[in-house]
Structure 1
Amino acid sequence: MSSRAFGWAWGLSLPPAQKMVLLALADVASPDKDQFACPISYIEKVACMDAAEIDDAIAALVAKDLVSHSHGLYRLGLPPLPPRESRPVAAGCVYIMVSGGKTKVGVSTDLNQRLYNIKATLPDVRLIHSFPMLITEARKYEGRCLAHFAHDALHGEWLSTPPDDVIEYLQRVTGKAGTPA
Structure 2
Amino acid sequence: MAEAVTEASLRRRRARARSRLVGVLIAGSALAIADQMARWAVRSAMPAGDRHAIAPGLSITSATNDGAALGLLSGSGRIVGVAGAVILPALALLAWRRITARPAAAYGAIMLAAGALGNVSERLVRSSVTDYLDPLRWPPFNVADMLVIAGGALLLSAVAPSETDARASEGG
TM-score range, shorter chain: under 0.3
Greater fraction of residues in strand: 1
Greater fraction of residues in helix: 2
- Of structures 1 and 2, the one with the larger relative CO (CA 8 A, separation 6+) is 2
TM-score calculated relative to the size of structure 1:
0.20
TM-score calculated relative to the size of structure 2:
0.21
